[in-house]
């Protein structure tokens, strides 16, 4: 699967992008511009939104005034139209189609409990386990009622292999040595002892990929029809991703070409809290303490990331004002309504409660500006390999097949809930072809 490099620069982590314009600390609190004036309603919703900033929001600062500023007080735009950007010509790989087919099979697999034999590779075992390191249980090293497919690589190989040949109801204790280069530096090279009880053993039955299977679980009658749908769907997504990649590159150029002098303190506070929240979430995904995560990023990482995001949004807002892309209340409601189905919310109020109106508005503005810059850029078509280069290959090799760490990190696929609302198409195939 191709991983789009621009995504790493979007939202929370977009703050690491280089930006050389000067930034003062003076706080200017003029009334907001046309679209941000509509966001006075964000203040009206402050009671509801006070929790949307996670730990930062719980301090009582819901950033209702973060967008009440005039961009002209801080930004002098440079060139932002007809910027020369590359457009990676979208393509659909057969491995992408195969991946979608495998997902369809996985989503329809069945489990048959086994009681007359020990566990073997490919079985799913329900387990309770406790891990001890240096004589003490360690964070993330224990769980109950956990479903593990032996041989899946979800846990370290030694852990999974130690359960092969064991029977239902059996409790086993065994050592596991963590790799020298492990994502959790606290566990690197160390040995832990796990005690595991097997509660149940199930045989995993993967359905055969046939016309009959496809007709049963999708709206398509044959394998060929289904794969045609998959290819068309993947191509549509790839086209959106390529356009977004070019737009992101254009935005980075527009930010570099602009002159930024100072920033509204409320806007900085908003992005600072968003960055802290995001970094806390990423630290948890990696099984690290937040402080350890910050140490690896280096001194001033939060501040630098917040400033970069502030600068980017100031430029976005300036372009939006100049090109008529600002967000009216009516426009906000329309776009927020469109997000409800995508993010599986019943009401706009529920969406705002999780993400915060300020965060939603900033992403709407940013998305509009990215689209505008792409549509007004000088686009050069290039191949995927030419655009993404070796970074993509390295990402594929290091990302897809690595151990997720044994038990201690079950954050793969978790939703942050309190992070940024990602409006960009992320290109991750989630079921791609199946029809609800």
Q: What contacts 206, CB < 8 A, 6 or more positions away?
A: 105, 106, 109
* Chain centroid to CA 390: 22
Average pLDDT of span 116-122 = 95
Cβ neighbours of 179 (radius 10 Å): 12
The arithmetic mean of pLDDT across residues 112-138, rounded, is: 94
Q: How far apart are CA 116 and CA 108, in angstroms?
A: 25
pTM of the model: 0.67
Q: What is the pLDDT of residue 409?
A: 34
In DSSP terms, 75 is beta-bridged to 260
Give CA angle at 275 (360, 319), nearest 5°: 50
Please, are residues 373 and 325 in contact by the beta-carbon 8 Å criterion?
Answer: no
Q: What is the arithmetic mean of pLDDT over 149-173?
A: 95
Band (97; pLDDT cuts 50, 70, 90): very high
Strands 378-382 and 84-88: parallel
pLDDT at res. 398: 44
Number of H helices and number of E strands within the chain? 15, 10
Rounded mean pLDDT of 80-97? Answer: 96
Q: What is the pLDDT of residues 254-313, one digit of tens each?
A: 999 999 999 999 999 999 999 999 999 998 888 788 998 999 999 999 999 999 999 999
């Amino acid at each position: 699967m191709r991983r789009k490099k621009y995504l790493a620069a979007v939202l929370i982590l977009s703050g690491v992008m280089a930006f050389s314009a000067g930034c003062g600390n003076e706080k200017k609190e003029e009334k907001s511009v046309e679209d941000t004036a509509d966001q006075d309603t964000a203040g009206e919703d402050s009671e509801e939104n006070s929790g949307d900033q996670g730990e930062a929001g719980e301090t009582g600062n819901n950033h209702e005034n973060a967008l009440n500023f005039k961009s002209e007080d801080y930004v002098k735009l440079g060139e932002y139209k007809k910027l020369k950007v590359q457009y990676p010509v979208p393509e659909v790989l057969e491995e992408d189609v195969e991946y979608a087919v495998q997902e369809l099979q996985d989503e329809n697999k069945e489990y048959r409990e086994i009681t007359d034999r020990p566990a073997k590779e490919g079985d799913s075992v329900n387990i309770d386990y406790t891990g001890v390191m240096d004589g003490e249980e360690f964070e993330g090293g224990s769980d109950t009622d956990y479903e593990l497919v032996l041989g899946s690589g979800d846990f370290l190989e030694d852990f999974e292999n130690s359960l092969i040949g064991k029977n239902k109801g059996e409790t086993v204790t065994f050592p596991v040595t963590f790799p020298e280069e492990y994502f959790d530096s606290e566990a690197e090279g160390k040995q832990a002892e796990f005690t595991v009880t097997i509660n149940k053993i199930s045989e995993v039955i993967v359905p055969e990929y046939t016309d009959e299977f496809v007709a049963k679980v999708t709206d398509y009658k044959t394998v060929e029809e289904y794969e045609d749908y998959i290819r068309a769907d993947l191509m549509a997504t790839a086209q959106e991703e390529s356009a977004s990649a070019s737009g992101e590159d254009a935005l980075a150029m527009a930010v570099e070409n602009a002159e930024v002098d100072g920033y509204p303190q409320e806007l900085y506070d908003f992005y600072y809290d968003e960055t802290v929240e995001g970094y806390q979430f990423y630290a948890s995904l990696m099984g690290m303490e937040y402080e350890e995560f910050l140490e690896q990023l280096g001194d001033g990482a939060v501040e630098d990331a917040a400033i970069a995001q502030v600068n980017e949004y100031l430029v976005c807002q300036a372009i939006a004002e100049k090109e008529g892309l600002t967000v009216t209340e009516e426009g906000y409601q329309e776009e927020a309504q469109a997000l409800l189905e995508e993010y599986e919310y019943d009401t706009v109020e529920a969406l705002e409660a999780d993400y915060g109106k300020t965060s939603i508005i900033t992403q709407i503005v940013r998305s509009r500006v990215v689209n505008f810059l792409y549509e007004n850029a000088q686009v050069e078509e290039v191949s995927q390999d030419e655009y993404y280069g070796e970074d993509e290959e390295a990402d594929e090799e290091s990302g897809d097949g690595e151990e997720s760490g044994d038990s201690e990190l079950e954050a793969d696929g978790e939703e942050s809930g309190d992070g940024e609302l990602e409006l960009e198409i992320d290109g991750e195939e989630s079921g791609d072809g199946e029809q609800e």
